[in-house]
Amino acid sequence: MIPKALSLPYLSTVMINKFQRSLRLGYGFSLFMLLVVCLISYLTVQSLMNSNRAVAHSDKVIATLEKLLSVMKDAETGQRGYLLSGQIAFLEPYNGAYREAGALTDQLKTLTADNQNQQANIAVIRQVLTQRLNTLQQLISKKQNGGTLGSADLESSKDAMDSFRAAIAKAEGDENRLLNERTATLNYYSTLTPIFLVLAAVLAIGTSGYFYFSVIRDLREKERLRLELEQSEEETQALNEELTAANEEITAANEELTAINEELVKAREELSQANETLESRVTERTQALQESEEETQALNEELTAINEEMAATNEELMATNEELAESERRLQELVDELRQADERSAKLAAIVESSDDAIIGKDLNGVVTAWNRGAEHIFGYSEAEIVGQPILKLIPEDLHHEEPFILGRLRNGEKIDHHETIRRRADGGLINVSLTISPIHDKEGRVIGVSKIARDISEQKRDEQRKNDFIGMASHELKTPLTSLTALVQVLQQKLRVNDDPFVPQALNKAHLQTKKMSSLINGFLNVSRLESGKLEIVKQDFDLTELAKEQLEEIRLTVSSHTFVFEPDHAVTVLADREKIGSVISNLLTNAVKYSPKGKVIKISCTMRDGQVLFSVQDEGMGIRAQDLPRIFDRYYRVGSEHTRHISGFGVGLYLSAEIIQRHAGRIWAESEKSVGSTFIFILPVA
């Protein structure tokens, strides 16, 4: 067996790459967050400054209007003083009014250049101002010419001044409305800016902290891998020695091949020498046999045969050399492939052997081909005892029908995940296992075998059974005294229905409701126990779902006065279902809506038809559910953990039982929620 240490350098490299990637990601994301915060902060502060400038601009426009009105009042006061006394000194405020009023009007036109409405108001003011100044001048001229001023003159002067005040008041009113809008905008950005800056700072700090701890975690993991790598150096050294020995053997084989080649070369040289010797002998014999043609002819034939034999021998030697060279090349390729296969096998062997789960290989005939240490521990068979045996040796007789079904799915290329069943150990004992089975394909994609991972879940099954037995026993024990208590409360209600003290009937009514609530809770635990033991009965009948919802609402209204329930069904909706079980589902959804919406006052209930199905929903205005909690909200005993739900009572069985009841009716239940806005629980049932 090759040690698992070969996988550590690979893991170390992966860890280093992960650390560097996390570091780059952390710095990059932090820099990005800083840029985003800076940009939005700049835009927010810029909006705040623009709003501040707009408010100051409106204040300046209003102040200029007031000053213009004041100038005209001074002019009118001076004019009246002159008209009454005839003294020129009173005309001093009036004389400067023309120039100052014109300058203020021009200033107002410039200040309101971006406001078409105010431009129209300024035009009216200029017109009324000109008219007012002309009126004042006419009265002064009339006085200077010795004319008599009548009541009509004074009345026209007053009307002109009133028109001027009205024009000024309209312009100020429009500007005040604009000022209020700009002040509201300024207050909005004044409130938003510090809040956003604090949130941005908290987000940046949180992000930096997250990546800091992530880097610290990677550093610790890197240090752990380094220590494991140091501990595995001896195993790696031993592996290197084995590889060195293999290389030496290959080198020895190469030396043997080289020696063979040298021998062949030597044989070729000897043949060459033999040819030379033969040629010399032939020459001598030819000279000796020149006297006889017959002897010469025989000698020629003999020489021809010898040459043919030598040519054939040379061809065989050349072919042998080529075959040896090809064999040497193939041998080197096989050695390289063997080394790579050994490395892959070492990694896989380390994973398989270190697993606590049973990892089993078998062929398509159900014969065991591979068996790891985890399988030995779980089933009690050693590798030598089980490899080559049929897998049915591990399966109880009453479950033999499973194997053909499993093999049939695997031959089609399907994968089986978390199949819970029973298997037999070597000592005959039965254990609960969870199987994950995958097909093994060849290069052409054909299924040639099966890989099976088995996990022992016997202890988990025993714990679940003990828990269900305890819940069932405790629920039965609690239900007996609770039934007696309920009967006693009902008797007291009958006897004390009319009592001088109004507290007694009210207290008995609340006690009766609490016993009903406790009975419902105990029934929930009993139903969970029956559900998990397969004893929960569904007795279906036709009934009006809207009428059932109204009954549940009436019951909950007796104990809940803090919320308003809105349920306005259009018509009756008939379903074929277990009335009691569906009633418990509706009651649980309404109770949860009250519990988890302490600040929201309105709970909306809806019952409608959609696509041939009944859709029932309960919507609250509560604290909402986080997105990461939604997939598990219907799990058994699961409760959302947060600071808002810490003090809310419950055992986490209501929604679990509701989901199981709806599923037993071939329906579906789900939740939609937004944090701090509210939640909506919806279930669908087939119509009758």
Where do the domains of the chain lie?
8-226, 234-350, 355-456, 463-530, 538-686
Within 10 A of 656 (CB to CB), how many other CB atoms are there? 20
Element (H, E) at 457: none
Alpha-carbon separation of residue 375 from 371, 387, 417, 420 (angstroms): 6, 11, 18, 17
Please identify which residue in the block is written with the tokens 């000897």.
270
pLDDT tops 80 at residue 371: yes
What is the rounded average pLDDT of the residues 413-436? 91
Look at 366 and 202; give whichever has higher pLDDT: 366
pLDDT tops 50 at residue 339: yes
Alpha-carbon separation of residue 573 from 542, 551, 581, 612, 685 (angstroms): 10, 15, 17, 11, 11
What is the rounded average pLDDT of the residues 495-523? 76
CATH of domain 538-686: 3.30.565.10
Task: Compute CA 312 distance to the chain's CA centroid, rounded to the nearest angstrom.
Answer: 79
What is the rounded average pLDDT of the residues 14-28? 67
pLDDT tops 50 at residue 2: no
pLDDT tops 70 at residue 300: no
Cα gap 129→127, rounded to integer Å: 5
Say which range, 188-192, 422-426, 531-535, has the weakest mean pLDDT.
531-535
What is the rounded average pLDDT of the residues 642-659? 66
| Cβ partners under 8 Å of residue 593, min gap 6 | 563, 603, 618, 619, 620, 622, 679, 681
Give φ, ψ of 456 to 5 degrees: -75, 115
Say which range, 122-126, 273-277, 427-431, has the weakest mean pLDDT.
273-277
Task: Compute CA 458 distance to the chain's CA centroid, rounded to the nearest angstrom.
Answer: 33
Which residues on neighbouring strands pair with residue 685, listed in sequence order?
A: 614
Residue count of the chain: 688
Give φ, ψ of 142 to 5 degrees: -65, -40
Short-list 435, 324, 419, CA closest to 378: 435
pLDDT recorded at residue 321: 67
Q: What angle do helix axes 579-595 and 503-532 make, rounded to 10 degrees? A: 120
pLDDT tops 60 at residue 299: no
Say which range, 242-251, 339-348, 496-505, 589-598, has the weakest mean pLDDT.
339-348
Cα gap 23→21, rounded to integer Å: 5
The conformational region for residue 541 under phi > 0 = left, psi -120 to 50 = alpha, else beta, is beta
What is the rounded average pLDDT of the residues 301-322? 69
pLDDT recorded at residue 295: 57
CATH architecture of 463-530: Orthogonal Bundle (1.10)
| Cβ partners under 8 Å of residue 243, min gap 6 | 339
Domain 355-456, what fold? Beta-Lactamase (3.30.450)
Q: Are 178 and 115 in contact (CB under 8 A)?
A: yes
**What sign does the CA torsion over 77, 81, 83, 87 have?**
negative
pLDDT recorded at residue 6: 43
Collect contacts of 287-291 with beta carbons under 8 A, ≥24 apart: none
Residue 565's Cβ-side half-sphere holds a number of Cα atoms within 13 Å equal to 25
590, burial (CB in 10 Å: exposed 0-12, middle 13-18, buried 19+):
buried
Distinct helix (H) and strand (E) counts, the chain: 15, 12
Residue-wise pLDDT for 576-605, tens only, equals 999 999 998 999 999 889 888 877 689 999
pLDDT band at 8 (very low <50, low <70, confident <90, very high): low
What is the rounded end-to-end Cα distance, in angstroms, of the chain?
A: 66
Within 10 A of 462 (CB to CB), how many other CB atoms are there? 11
Q: Are 597 and 560 in contact (CB under 8 A)?
A: no
Element (H, E) at 64: helix 7-85
pLDDT band at 100 (very low <50, low <70, confident <90, very high): confident
Element (H, E) at 115: none
Give me the percent of the chain exceeding a pLDDT of 70. 75
Give φ, ψ of 427 to 5 degrees: -85, 5
And the tokens for 56? 């100051």
Q: Are 391 and 363 in contact (CB under 8 A)?
A: no
| Segments in 86-150 forming alpha helices (H) | 92-95, 97-111, 116-144
Cα gap 396→589, rounded to integer Å: 44
| Residue 572 DSSP SS3 | coil
Short-list 616, 618, 624, 617, CA closest to 597: 624
Please identify which residue in the block is written with the tokens 């209007």.
65
pLDDT tops 80 at residue 147: no
And the tokens for 140? 């002064």
Instruction: Give the predicted TM-score (pTM) of the model.
Output: 0.37
Q: 106-140: b or e for each residue (b if 16 or more CB lie within 10 Å)? A: ebbeebbeebeebeebbebbbebbeebbebbeebb
Radius of gyration of the chain, Cα coordinates, nearest whole angstrom: 51
Residue 409 one-letter amino acid: R
pLDDT tops 70 at residue 608: yes
Task: Compute CA 403 distance to the chain's CA centroid, rounded to the nearest angstrom.
Answer: 38
Which residues on neighbouring strands pair with residue 359, listed in sequence order?
A: 453
Q: Are 351 and 453 in contact (CB under 8 A)?
A: no
pLDDT band at 559 (very low <50, low <70, confident <90, very high): confident
Cα gap 344→590, rounded to integer Å: 59
Highest mean pLDDT among 181-185, 187-191, 321-325, 453-457: 453-457
Cα gap 633→641, rounded to integer Å: 11
Mean pLDDT of the chain: 78
- Domain 8-226 sits in CATH 1.20.120.1730: yes
What is the rounded average pLDDT of the residues 561-569? 90
Give φ, ψ of 422 to 5 degrees: -125, 140
pLDDT recorded at residue 524: 66
Short-list 686, 683, 611, 596, CA closest to 646: 596
Within 10 A of 371 (CB to CB), how many other CB atoms are there? 23
pLDDT recorded at residue 265: 72
pLDDT recorded at residue 5: 44
Cα gap 7→239, rounded to integer Å: 13
Short-list 527, 562, 678, 542, CA closest to 617: 678
And the tokens for 291? 């006297």
| Residue 84 DSSP SS3 | helix
